[in-house]
Structure 1
Amino acid sequence: MIEPSRIREHAEVIGADGVHVGTVDRVEGGRIKLTKRDSGEGRHEGHHHFIALDLVADVEGDRVRLSANGAEAVSFEEEPDGKGIH
């Protein structure tokens, strides 16, 4: 697993395919907390989502690259309570 201290606030989170997944708000409780502006639509809009640190493949400067493609990574996002969003 990547050392959480390597993940910077406001870094872009991208899938293995380079697709934008979100923007880091901060690392919290073993997960990356994404900014609200990347929260999605409908009932998912307007609140934070989380990505498990286990999905991080590498940190490249101001980019966090995930091991899953962008579309797959979104399906792994979690709500604040730790439950999946889909």
Structure 2
Amino acid sequence: MDFANLLPVILIAAVVIGAAVGLLALGTMLSGRRIQGSCGGLANSNIPGHDAKSPCMSCGASPESCDRPGAEDVREALQKEDAAR
């Protein structure tokens, strides 16, 4: 196979892969949900400073003053945890 015959195959493959990535990105943006790790992300890890009580890694806000989506769930979980103690 020479380059002239291989070029259309390469271009078609690049377009298909690009379209797939673009549609995945569009679906993520339109769903309005945050991307999470398969095990719940960093909030469920044992890494110091990455638990639900630590400040947000992206903006530095504490869970009590955060107004981003999902912050209310974190506040409720913290209240239940404090009540259980």
Same fold (TM over 0.5): no
User: Structure 1 or 2: larger strand share?
Assistant: 1
| Structure exhibiting the larger radius of gyration computed from Cα positions | 2
TM-score under structure 2 length normalisation: 0.23
TM-score of the aligned structures, taking structure 1 as reference length? 0.23
